[in-house]
Amino acid sequence: MAEKLSTEPYKGVRDFYPEDMAIQRHIFDTWSRTAESFGFERYDASVLEPSELYKSKGAENEELVNDQTYTFTDRGNREVTLRPEMTPTVARMIASRHKELPFPVRWYSIPNLFRYERSQRGRVREHWQLNCDIFGAEDQLSADVEMIALAYQSLINFGAYDEMFSIRVNDRVEMKEFYHSLGVIDEESITKVTRLNDRFHKIERSEYMEELRQIVPGAAEAILEFVEKSEQTENAVTKALNALGINNVKIDRSLARGFDYYTGTIFEIFDNDPKNNRSMLGGGRYDDLTSLFGEERIGGVGFGMGDVTMRDFLETHDLIPNLRRSANLIVIPTDTKFNLEGEKAATTFRRSGVSTLVDISARKLGKKVSNAAHCGAGYLLVVGEDEIARSEFILKNLADGTEASGSLDDLAKQVAS
RNA sequence: GCGGCUAUGGUGUAACGGUUAACACAGAGGUUUGUGGAGCCUCUGAUUCGGGUUCGAUUCCCGGUAGCCGCCCCA
């Protein structure tokens, strides 16, 4: 005997058994439905991209690509990366057709993304993400507000209530103006403060202040006050969201959102449940994603939300509905020698649009009936010697126990209606 | 990359260092053979791997591996 292969999936990725797939479909369906209800169009691309796409933004990115992505060399000696995020891809696609697209463009996608990292709660090596973007809108405020409203609505469409989550909004332009007003001008200090602010809710106040004083000795008190009181303030985005009836939104000056392309509004949605207190979704405004491709600058606003964090949220708040899906009709041959007659009968029902499964197992009739009832089918049809001989069948409604008899065509019409 | 915790049937759990490793669920079969989810009966099936301590290890120690939870990072 050869050495046994492991039944475990590859490190950090998941198998989707039917019960998991049902949840995954529910998440994807809800995402699509929400995005399309805002008039967004779906796009997709390959998981493979040339590595330059991710390295082009400087040495920092090169390191990121080398350490945290799946990158390999193909047989043609090209360096290839499994996409770790969707934004560069969609920027490439937009840049490629920017002359023919009717801006503003509203696009969404549900790509699978890969990152080479140690997995932990809420983070695995392959995940799916709803990505929504509005490109090239002149009215930036409206685009920002619509984007956040879409994110909000998707959670509502999962059955969430406002109290379950909170939307936190910040703005990089406003932060910069604030720092400048304090005389903090150099980029390095601003970057350090931003990075520290990102940990504001995680660390002790004293630790925060200690580090802050080291970076900006003269402005530490003012910054602390600004961050601490941010919830009591508002800006154009939060006011507009309030006007749309979205009230679980707050300014959060500690919000940082990494250090890449965001240039204006940034936002995250947090789970309010202490058991799952984490960010479920994040996004923001970027001025320029396309000049890398030699095209004019096209800005936009977008967000991404992951399937893993979404599922954690739904489980935490008990928002996963009963998703059991079985065939609507189970055909039960009384003996395996009638299985093919059963398949024949099933064909009639399937052609009428009734999902139909033939129980071709060797179990006894009583067991088959039990199973049909157990798996949640709506109807069952027994196919045995008498029925075949007379071409007349009995259809049983499992919900109320009633029976109807007739030809297969008649019964199929009845179930279909 | 760093740290902590865990590892027993398919799943979830139990077992003072001492008989045949227990229980529940799931699965298979039966309940006298053509009709309901129950009940009852039966069966299948496990100590992650490699060392060590011991008369004896699921239990204690060391290491590997894997998983989980943090840190770093977060696209």
Rg of chain A taking only CA atoms, in angstroms: 28
* Å between CA of A251 and C1' of B39: 60
Spanning CA of A359 to C1' of B40, the rounded length in angstroms is 26
pLDDT of residue A408: 94
Residue at minimum CA to C1' distance from nucleotide B74 = A258
Distance measured from the CA of protein residue A121 to the C1' of nucleotide B46, in angstroms: 28
Q: How far apart are CA A231 and CA A194, in angstroms?
A: 17
- The pLDDT value recorded for residue A1 is 38
Measure A315 CA to B35 C1' (Å): 38
Shortest-distance nucleotide from A8 CA to C1'? B66
Closest by alpha carbon to A283, among A311, A306, A299, A304?
Answer: A304
Q: Within 7 A of a protein CB, which nucleotides of strand B?
A: 1-2, 28-31, 33-38, 66-75
Residue-wise pLDDT tens for chain A (417 aa)?
Answer: 345 677 778 888 888 888 888 899 999 999 999 999 999 999 999 999 999 998 876 656 777 777 788 988 999 999 999 999 999 999 999 999 999 999 999 999 999 999 988 888 888 999 999 999 999 999 999 999 999 999 999 999 999 999 999 999 999 999 999 999 999 988 888 888 988 998 888 888 888 998 899 889 889 999 999 999 999 999 999 999 999 999 999 999 999 887 677 899 999 999 988 777 788 899 999 988 888 888 789 999 999 999 999 998 998 888 888 777 778 999 999 988 999 999 999 999 999 999 999 999 888 888 899 888 888 888 999 999 999 999 999 999 988 888 899 999 999 999 988
Which nucleotide is closest to A6, CA to C1'?
Answer: B66
Q: In Å, what is the separation between the CA of A375 and the C1' of B58?
A: 38
> What is the nearest nucleotide to A389, using C1' and CA?
B34
Å separating the CA of residue A190 from the C1' of nucleotide B44: 66
Q: A258: which residues sit within 8 A by CB, 6+ positions away?
A: none
Distance A18 CA to B40 C1' (A): 32
Nucleotide nearest residue A387, measured CA to C1': B34
What is residue A2's predicted lDDT score, i.e. its pLDDT? Answer: 44
Q: Please, what is the Cα angle at A278 between A311 and A197, to 5 degrees?
A: 155
pTM: 0.91
pLDDT for A251: 95
* Distance of A274 CA from B30 C1′ (whole Å): 50
Nearest nucleotide by C1' position to the A383 CA atom: B34
Q: Hey, what domains does chain A have and what are their CATH numbers?
A: 18-47+83-316 (3.30.930.10), 329-416 (3.40.50.800)
Nucleotide nearest to A129 (CA to C1'): B75
